[in-house]
Amino acid sequence: MNDEVLLIDKPAGMTSFGVVARIRRVASRSAGKKIKVGHTGTLDPFATGLMILVTGKECKNANYYTKLDKVYEATFRLGETSTTGDPEGEVSVVSDVQPSREEVEAVLRTFTGEIEQRPPIFSAIKINGRRAYAMARNGEEVEIPLRKITVYSLELLEYSYPEIKIRTHVSSGTYIRSLGADIGTALGTGAYTTHLRRISIGEWSVYDAKYLQEYGIEN
């Protein structure tokens, strides 16, 4: 497991750093020495799907993988918002408006191409050297500037109010939680992300990834 690229299917309920730590322990134990292990982009604890881990000398190439496009499948719940944009935050009911499928599809079309997005305050983005989520948890005011991202495709897979399930191909740096919240705002219903799964990173697919259990790791 040294000097390799590892494809991991991250389980829900575990941090990306937790995945890295577990793989590092297994790799180091197997090699009989400490093995350097890094990730190439985090997934939120509630999310599942593909993580690319790099070990040993391959860590120097981590930035290459980080910049690759990604494909996600996500479910947004309409009519409610969350302080974190996901199930881990404080959820509030904000609307009982039930958009038609045609209205949902029309709004989704406005979110393709190059758009501006504000990342969630509960994110790992650094502001003056500090993580945004740490500042938010301390009750500090967090202002994250808008950034340009590209949504190459955004497909409606299922719609049964209040849930929208989508599949989207996006540029690096895109936050699906923000995308869900912005879609909810555009629909006039509010929304937050209830399920999130990363399907691919560049040419690498979750269908080629291994579960942690295959490395002898229990969740």
One domain for residues 136 and 29: no
Task: Assign residue 17 the CATH number of its domain.
Answer: 3.30.2350.10
One domain for residues 100 and 150: yes
- Number of domain units in the chain: 2
One domain for residues 150 and 172: yes
As a whole number of angstroms, the distance between CA 146 and CA 64 comes to 24
Token digits of residue 170 = 């996006």
One domain for residues 155 and 168: yes
Q: Which pLDDT belongs to residue 120? A: 76
One domain for residues 106 and 192: yes
Query: Is this prediction's pTM over 0.85?
Result: yes
One domain for residues 100 and 147: yes
The whole domain housing 116 covers 70-201
3-state class of 5 per DSSP? strand
Tell me which residues are annotated as active site.
44
Q: Which pLDDT belongs to residue 13? A: 94
Average pLDDT by stretches of 10, the chain with 219 residues: 90 94 93 92 94 95 95 98 92 96 98 92 73 75 84 98 98 95 97 98 97 88
| β-bridge mates for residue 115, sequence order | 149
Neighbouring residues of 71: CB distance < 8 A, sequence distance ≥ 6: 167, 168, 169, 170, 198, 199, 200
Q: Is the dihedral of CA 120, 130, 171, 200 positive or negative?
A: negative
One domain for residues 32 and 100: no
Contact criterion met (CB below 8 Å) for 153 and 112: yes
One domain for residues 111 and 196: yes
One domain for residues 17 and 29: yes
One domain for residues 57 and 131: no
